[in-house]
Every structure is written in C-alpha cells, then in structure tokens.
Structure 1
Amino acid sequence: MTRQAVDSLRATSDPRLRDLLTALVRHLHAFARETRLTEAEWERAIGFLTATGQACTDTRQEFILLSDVLGLSMLVEALHGHRAPGATESTVLGPFHQTASPVRELGAGIDLVGDGEPCVISGRVRSTDGTPLPGAVVDVWQADANGFYDVQRPDVQPPGNGRGLFTADAEGRFRFRTCVPSSYPIPVDGPVGTLLRAAGRHPYRPAHIHFIAKADGHIPVTTHVFVAGDAFLDSDAVFAVKDSLVQDFAPTDDPSLARAFGVPNPFRHASFDLVLERA
C-alpha cells in the first residue's frame, strides 16, 4: 500500500513538492503501522482536524496554534533560523499577527486601555557589526495587562491596542510606551485546548512582547522579548523561550526620566538591541 501511494506521486512536476509528499506518505504510513492506528482513532483524528479548520477565522489561526503546541513551529524555525554570531535569535510568529499594526510615532503609546503597569521599551536596531540601521521598521504586538490580544476581546479593547509599527531614527533607535505584559493562557476554547487537556498540559505562555524588525540589506527577524522572572519561562506552551531573549523589565523611580518618556513615575523600563544579519 505504501509503495503504491508513493509511486502515484512520481508524475508530480515540482521536484520539491514530490519530495515533500513522498516523505509525508512514508511517515504517515509508518506512524499508522507503529501505533496500529484503529479506524475509530483515524475518524477521531479527521474530526479533530476538521474542527481545527472550522475554528479558523480572519483573526484566529487555530492551525498555527496547533503547530505551536506540538513544537512544530519552533522546530521549523530552528531548522532555518539564522545563526550569524550576535544576531537576535528568532522565535515563532504566533497566531495573533493577523491584524496590521497601526503606524505610530517614536515614543507613542500602544496601550490604549491604560489598565496595566506603565512601561517603556527602548533600544536600537543595528547590524551584527554594530552599525546602526536608521529607518529600520519595528513591528510590535502584545497582549494587554490581562493577557488578551485586541482581536480576542474587541468589545473591551479598541482595534490596534497593543500594536504599533515604528520607524527607527537616524541612530537606529526605537522607543514606545506600553504596559508590562502578563503571562496568559493560549486560547483553549477550541480543538487545541481540548488536545492540551487530554495531554495533561497547561496552556500558559510567559509574559512577552512580539517583534518583527526589518532593514534594507538585512534579513528580517521575528522574535519575542520575555519578561525576566516569569513563572512560565521554563514551561512555555509553545516552546519559544530562548535565554538570550529574556530581558529585565527594571523598576524605575526617576521623575525626570518619567517626564522625558511621558509616563507616570515609577515605571518599568526594558532596553535592548534588535540585531539583524546582513542579507
């Protein structure tokens, strides 16, 4: 049966597609043999995948979430992530980059609700040789202080809350105001939540902010910055934590600095570079 299925793919004109489909068939058949998959289990799996597709919307990607919790997203990233010494490490995109971030001025706030602990994020986009990258674009998105993205609670959060698209200044610097992110559970009201409960796994992600940084002549990086000390750093539900991406969101009591940043005093401050590899 496996040989017949593989042979049926020989006429596939795209060599890469032929290789992918051939490997997929071989591994699926091997899985069924190894586990002695029953018809009832196969039907349940088909039902699960059907429900996963039905849970996808314009603002929710249940299949990305499934890939994340199975570790596949991070495996693909690890296989193809860039490894230039000193470059910022990449992580998964996640399922909530489905809405375009609004363009904002440097130093603007992305927390439009204002119910979290004030925080300032600042840093610089530079190349691995230390050269600043003026005009670099920094795309940012995060959950609110209660652990929800704007698309999850549109009745509570205005569109674009927790999101911003910033252009670095002449020295490659970026800065914005926000709230300290919190750890949160990934959505568990769909098929992925059912899977996690069946596996006895928790759904929590450590507190983080998402970034995509781009600059001419450089390879873009998709990454997170995680809040140091979070209880879930060692058990992220999507396996995305890397030590180099954990940053201290330092308590800061400095009235003059708070005035300069436009935030109440005291506040939290995290500062780091986003380092890109040359293309």
Structure 2
Amino acid sequence: MTDRDVVPEDITEDTVTDAVVDSFAGSADPRLQALLSAVVRHLHAAVREVEPTIAEWEAAVDFLTRTGQTCDDTRQEFVLLSDVLGISALVENINHRKVAGATEATVLGPFHMTESPVRANGDSIDLVGGREPCVVTGRVLTTVGDPVPGASVDVWQADENGFYDVQRPDVQPAGNGRGLFTTDDEGRFWFSTVVPSWYPIPTDGPVGRLLGATGRHPNRPAHVHFIADADGFVPVTTHIFVAGSPYLDSDAVFAVKRSLVRDFDPVDDAAEAARSGVANPFRHAQVDLVVERAEPTAAG
C-alpha cells in the first residue's frame, strides 16, 4: 500500500482543533508554535461557544478586511481595534507588571505614527498658539529616586480641540503637539504646550461602527502621552491625565489609572510666565517618570 492509498481520518468538529495545532509541530520556532497553538485553541473555543452562522462569520471576516483597508501611513485602525477591545491595555499591563515605585504603563494608542521632532528643554510643542498655555515639568527617576540623566522623553498629545497633527494636516503643521526631549544632569525635562482636550477616537471606520453597534461612546479623557527610555532601564509608555476631565471613569481604551491623573494647576505669575515663554496666566503640570532597571543579560 502506498501513501496515496491511505485514507485519512475525517476532520470533524471534535478533531479539527487538534489537527490544526498538530500542523504547527514542525515549526523551528518554539515560541511561534506555542503562540499559534494557544490562539487556535482559544479561537476555536470561542467559535464552539457562540456557534456563529455562516453569514455572521462572513461579516466578521469582512469587518477585519475593512479594518486592514482603513490603515495607512498616519492611521492604524488595527491598533484602535486592539485598544477598544482592551487588548492593548492587557498587553501593556502584562509586560509592565508594576514594580514598587515605578510609573504605571498605559497604551501606546494609534497616533504614535510619526517621529517626534527633537526639541530642547524649554521649547514649545504648541506650534499654533492655543488658548490655554501650559508648562509641563518633569523628571526621569529610578525606583529609588535617583535622577536619570540623558534619558529620552518622547511626548505627543492632541490639541485643545481634540485632534492630533496627523488628523488635520491642513490645520496643524507636522510635529505639532510632539517633541523628543533629553533629560539634563538632574534627570529633568520641561516644555510648554497647550492644555489638551478630551476627544473621540476616530469613528468613521470599522472600529467606530463597532462602538456604535454596541452602544459604547468613543471618548478619551484629556491626556499627554510619554515614552521614557534610557540605557540600562526598561522603557515605559504612559500618559498623564488632566484631573477633572470628562471620561476619566469611562475611557474608551481602558487606559486610565489613578496614579496617572495630574492636576494642571492655574498659575498667575507674570515673571514665571516670561521665564517659561508663555502668556500669563497659564497652567502647570508636574510629572515624574519612574523607570525600573533592566535585568542584566547573560552577555552582560
């Protein structure tokens, strides 16, 4: 009897999962094999639980197809989908389980699509002259409170109308609301900006229609994004949220943490405003970005 004469066992509802998992056995990458096997088992379990109709499954495939087709150089609809399903928050939390004293991580979000321009401490990232100026001062510190000089601090935010530069290139110049700063010898960084607004995530694509179909609002509370990174430390991706902003209790992407809510205090001090290069009065926010040391590698 030849191999062509062997009649395989029928693939059935009960055996298809194991058959697919077994098909990964030849992978040269054990981690890839483990990931695909787990994803297949959980997806198959979900399908068995809800028993979708053919029409429902075709609608799901169409939704994912349209999600991919909505992505471009300045918009990442799949990141947005991950965000609104809480997957981004879950991945961040798993990969940044809080070390005592370290800044809590949050989602990257879909608008970190372009490189932030390099700026000097004290520069403004508000290139259009917002109505409510703000000065942000901060430090990058170790978990024992030592300053981290030479750390990079990537900053990006929406404007006072709730839009990022990539969303309205005809209104905002490229790089508005963005800056890449380097901490000084005392771990400090500072810049001026505008108090950001809360805003709705884009709703003109498949993710927006998903939110509408499930009765969910698309809104995010006002916030400023940060990534702090330095040699020998674990980078942290985080936000600060404006205290008192709407939607702090119902962020559409599940990113709010109480430790990240900051007062943007009003300041009426003409001399201080002049030193900071902003109009008086203004608002001030202080943030410490606390990074944990990286585990030494075998080579190190």
User: Which residue of structure 2 lines up, in the alignment, with residue 177 of structure 1?
Assistant: 192
User: Which residue of structure 1 lines up, in the alignment, with residue 161 of structure 2?
Assistant: 146
User: Which residue of structure 2 lines up, in the alignment, with residue 258 of structure 1?
Assistant: 273
SS in 2 for 1:269: strand
Supply the AA of the counterpart residue of 1:8. Answer: S
User: Which residue of structure 1 lines up, in the alignment, with residue 23 of structure 2?
Assistant: 8
Whether 2:88 is the aligned partner of 1:49: answer no
User: Which residue of structure 1 lines up, in the alignment, with residue 12 of structure 2?
Assistant: none
Change (3 A) 1:51 1:114: same
Supply the AA of the counterpart residue of 2:83. Answer: D
2:212 maps to which of 181, 197, 207: 197
Instruction: List runs of 5+ in structure 2 lacking aligned partners.
Output: 1-15, 295-300
Worse overlay, 32-41 or 19-28: 19-28
User: Which residue of structure 2 lines up, in the alignment, with residue 227 of structure 1?
Assistant: 242
Residues 105-132 of structure 1, C-alpha deviation per residue, up to 9 Å, x if partnerless?
Answer: 1110001011331000001111111111
State the 1:255 CA deviation: 1.2
Supply the AA of the counterpart residue of 1:67. Answer: S
User: Which residue of structure 1 lines up, in the alignment, with residue 33 of structure 2?
Assistant: 18
SS in 2 for 1:278: coil
- TM-align CA RMSD: 0.9
State the 1:177 CA deviation: 0.4
Query: For the pair shown, which has the larger CA radius of gyration, 1 or 2?
Result: 2
User: Which residue of structure 1 lines up, in the alignment, with residue 149 of structure 2?
Assistant: 134
User: Which residue of structure 2 lines up, in the alignment, with residue 118 of structure 1?
Assistant: 133
SS in 2 for 1:237: coil
State the 1:12 CA deviation: 1.8
SS in 1 for 2:52: coil
Q: Structure 2: how far apart are the matches of 1:4 and 1:216? A: 45
User: Which residue of structure 1 lines up, in the alignment, with residue 108 of structure 2?
Assistant: 93
Residues 214-236 of structure 1, C-alpha deviation per residue, up to 9 Å, x if partnerless?
Answer: 12221111100000011200000
Normalising to structure 1: TM-score of the pair? Answer: 0.98
Q: Structure 1: how far apart are the matches of 2:186 and 2:281? A: 27
State the 1:101 CA deviation: 0.3
Supply the AA of the counterpart residue of 2:261. Answer: V
Q: Structure 2: how far apart are the matches of 1:86 and 1:53? A: 39
Task: Give the length in aligned residue pairs.
Answer: 279
Q: Structure 2: how far apart are the matches of 1:84 and 1:51? A: 39
Residues 195-219 of structure 1, C-alpha deviation per residue, up to 9 Å, x if partnerless?
Answer: 0000100000000000001122211
Worse overlay, 69-78 or 10-19: 10-19
Instruction: List runs of 5+ in structure 1 lacking aligned partners.
Output: none
State the 1:3 CA deviation: 2.0
SS in 1 for 2:149: coil
User: Which residue of structure 2 lines up, in the alignment, with residue 274 of structure 1?
Assistant: 289
State the 1:70 CA deviation: 0.1
Q: Structure 1: how far apart are the matches of 2:130 and 2:286? A: 22
Would you identify which runs of 4 or more consecutive aligned residues in structure 1 move more than 3 Å?
A: none
